[in-house]
Amino acid sequence: MDDAVTVFKALSDRTRARIVAMLLDQGETCVCILARVLGMPECSVSRHLAVLRAAGMVCARRQRTWMYYRMANPKTRLRKELWKCLRTCSGEDPQVRRDRERVQRLNCGNLERRQR
């Protein structure tokens, strides 16, 4: 039951739920893309990602100055089924659909070159 509480507590924030939906949909994604889609500063997005990371929901890797996040492999049946459900059902949410469209218009490589 502790795992369920941990996961649902992490997902109880709308921003974190949007991040999870994007990662499930897009796979590994740069923080710069997440921040642009969410319309938030990277430091705020990083704080939300830290909560998801502490809950064991996301993994990170650094490439030069950029951090990339992806969903962690689900180690429990609850997480496996929840990831599947979220992947399938989150597309019904209008905000998630807008986020998906916005992600497709952005190109992290161009952002990296502009910010150097």
Q: Please report, in tens digits, the pLDDT of each residue of the chain (116 residues total).
A: 788 899 999 999 999 999 999 999 989 999 999 999 999 999 999 999 999 999 999 999 999 988 999 999 998 999 999 999 988 888 788 998 899 888 888 765 544 434 44
Q: Which of 66, 58, 67 lies closest to 20 in space, CA to CA?
A: 58
Q: Quote the number of domains for the chain.
A: 1
> Quick one: which of 93, 75, 100 has its CA closest to 22?
100
- Give the structural domain span for 54: 2-115
Neighbours of 10 (CB within 10 A): 20
pTM of the model: 0.86
State residue 37's pLDDT score.
94
- CATH number for the domain including 10? 1.10.10.10
Q: At what angle do helices 2-11 and 14-26 cross, to 10 degrees?
A: 100
